[in-house]
Structure 1
Amino acid sequence: MNKKIEHPDNVYTQQVKKLLDKVSPVDGRSPSLYADAKNYFSLTPSLISHIRELEAKRQSALTRETSAVDIGELQQHIQQSKQKLEDERLARIARVNEVSRHIIELCEGDSYEETQTQSARFLGTLMLLTQGPATGFARLHQRLKPLYKAVLLLRLVDKLLQDETTSHPYLALYRPSLARMSGDEHWQKKWQTELAIPLISSALLQDIGLQHNDAQAILLGEKRNLDEFRLLEESQRKQLLKLNYLHTMSYLKRGLGQPVYEGDNTEEQHRFDKTHEAANQFREKLMYDAFVSKTGLGELLKIPQIYVSIILSTKHDYTRKELAKGYLLIEQLAKKGGLNTKLAQAFMKIVGFFPQGFGITFIPVNERGEEKKQFEYAIVNQLNPKNPGEPHCRVVSRNLNFVTSGGDEVIEKGRNLFFPANQKKLMRIGRDRISEIMSQLQSNFNDKSVDGLAPPYWEPADYFAEKKHQNLWKRGPK
Structure 2
Amino acid sequence: MANVTSETNFTQQVRSLIERTYGRSQLKDSLLERAMAYFEVKAQQSVQADKYQQQLEEIKAKIEEGSGKESAALQQKLHKLEREQRNFQLQLRLERNERNENLLETCHKLLALCEAEDIEETNRKSAQFLGTLQLISPTEGKKVAQLNEQHKALYKAVLALRLLDRLCMDKIVAEPYISQYLTDIPPEQYAEYHELDPKNYKVYIQQVKIPVIMAALIQDIGHYHPDAQQIIYGEDGKLDPCRTLDMESRKALLQISYRETIDYLVHGIGLTQYIGNSKVERDKFNQAEHKKIFFIKHLLKTSINPLKGIGNLLKVPQIYTSIILSTKVKYNYKLLPKAYQALNQNAERGTCSQAVVDSLYRITGMYPQGFGITYIPRDSDGKALDRYEYAIVNRLYPENPEQPLCRAATRQLSFISRGLDIIVKCEDNLYLSAVASNLATMSKKRLMEILELLASNYKERENLELIPRCWHAGEFFSIKENQKLWNKAQ
Could you say which TM-score interval applies, normalised by the shorter chain? over 0.9
Structure 2 residue corresponding to 1:285, chosen from 285, 288, 298 = 298
Report the counterpart of residue 418 of structure 1 in structure 2: 431
SS across alignment from 1:225: coil
Give the deviation of 1:436 after TM superposition: 1.7
Q: Show the counterpart of 1:125.
A: 132
Amino acid at match of 2:269: L
1:108-162 residue CA offsets vs partner (Å, 9 max, x unmatched)? 0121100000000000000001121322110111111100100000000101112
Please say if 1:83 is aligned against 2:90: yes
Structure 2 CA distance for aligned equivalents of residues 128 and 37 of structure 1: 28
| Amino acid in the other structure paired with 1:26 | R
Q: Equivalent residues in 2 for 1:49-198 (5 A)?
A: 49-62=47-60, 63=62, 65=71, 66-175=73-182, 176=185, 178-179=191-192, 181-182=194-195, 185-198=198-211
Aligned to 1:200: 213
Query: In the alignment, residue 180 of structure 2 is paired with which amino acid?
Result: L
Match of 2:274 in 1: 261
1:447 is aligned, of 449, 462, 470, to: 462
- C-alpha distance in structure 2 between counterparts of 1:389 and 1:143, whole Å: 29
Paired residue total: 470
CA distance in 1, matches of 2:110, 2:222: 22
Give me the whole-angstrom Cα distance separating, in 2, the residues matched to 1:294 and 1:203: 18
Q: Is the 8 A contact 1:28 1:35 kept in 2?
A: no
Alpha-carbon distance between aligned partners in 2 of 1:335 and 1:51, rounded to the nearest angstrom: 48
Please state whether the residue corresponding to 1:457 is helix, strand or coil.
Answer: coil
Asked if the contact 2:157–2:216 (Cα under 8 Å) also holds between the matched residues in 1, the reply is yes
Q: 1:193 to 1:120 in 2, by over 3 A?
A: same
- Is 1:313 matched up with 2:326? yes
2:484, 2:288 → 1: CA distance? Answer: 39
Residue 394 of structure 1 contacts residue 408 of structure 1 at CA under 8 Å; is this kept in 2? yes
Map of 1:252 onto structure 2? 265
Distance between the aligned counterparts of 1:28 and 1:146, measured in 2? 21
Gap runs ≥5 in structure 2: 64-70
Aligned partners of 1:320 and 1:444: how far apart in 2?
19
Residues in 2 aligned to 1:316 and 1:393: alpha-carbon distance in whole angstroms: 29
Residues in 1 aligned to 2:219 and 2:106: alpha-carbon distance in whole angstroms: 15
Check whether the contact 1:107–1:151 (CA below 8 A) recurs between aligned residues.
yes
Counterpart of 2:43, as a letter, is P
Matches within 5 A, 1:386-401: 386-401=399-414
Q: 1:223 and 1:28, CA in 2 relative to 1: closer, same or farther beyond 3 A?
A: farther
Unaligned runs of 5+ in 1: none
1:14 aligns with 2:29: no
SS for the counterpart of 2:277 is coil
What is the TM-score of this pair, normalised by structure 1? 0.93
TM-superposed CA distance for 1:163, in Å, is 2.1
Tell me the CA shift for residue 245 of structure 1.
1.5
1:436 is the counterpart of 2:452: yes
RMSD: 2.1
Equivalent-residue separation in structure 2 for 1:31 and 1:446 (angstroms): 42
Letter in 1 for 2:148: H
Q: Counterparts of 1:444 and 1:267 in 2: how far apart (Å)?
A: 70
1:405 aligns with 2:418: yes
Q: Distance in 2 between matches of 1:423 and 1:85?
A: 61
- Are 1:434 and 1:454, in contact at CA under 8 Å, matched by a contact in 2? no
Which of 307, 325, 328 is residue 341 of structure 2 equivalent to?
A: 328
Contact 1:327-1:352 within 8 A present in 2 as well? no
Within 5 Å, which residues of 2 pair with 1:349-360?
Answer: 349-360=362-373
Note if contact 2:174-2:310 (Cα within 8 Å) is conserved in structure 1: no
Which residue matches 2:67? none
Letter in 2 for 1:48: S
SS of structure 2 residue aligned to 1:458: coil
Query: 3-state SS of the aligned residue for 2:422?
Result: strand
- What residue is the counterpart of 1:223 in the other structure? 236
Between 1:424-433 and 1:407-416, the stretch displaced more is: 424-433
In 1, the alpha carbon distance for the partners of 2:429 and 2:131 equals 19
* Contact kept in structure 1, 2:161 and 2:213, CA below 8 Å: yes
Once residues 249 and 223 of structure 1 are traced to their aligned partners in structure 2, the CA distance between those partners, rounded to angstroms, is: 27
* Partner amino acid, structure 2, of 1:162: M
Whether the 8 Å contact between 1:145 and 1:308 is mirrored in structure 2 is: yes
Cα distance between partner residues in 1 of 2:23 and 2:394: 26
Tell me the SS of whatever aligns to 1:474. Answer: coil
Q: Is the aligned partner of 1:42 residue 2:10?
A: no
- Per-residue CA deviations over 1:205-241 (Å, capped at 9, x if unaligned) read 1111111111011111222222211122222111111
| Deviation for aligned residue 1:46 | 1.3
> AA paired with 1:90?
N
Write the distance in 2 (CA, Å) between the matches of 1:86 and 1:222. 33
Partner SS state of residue 155, structure 1? helix
TM-superposed deviation, 1:29: 5.8
* 1:70 positional shift: 3.4
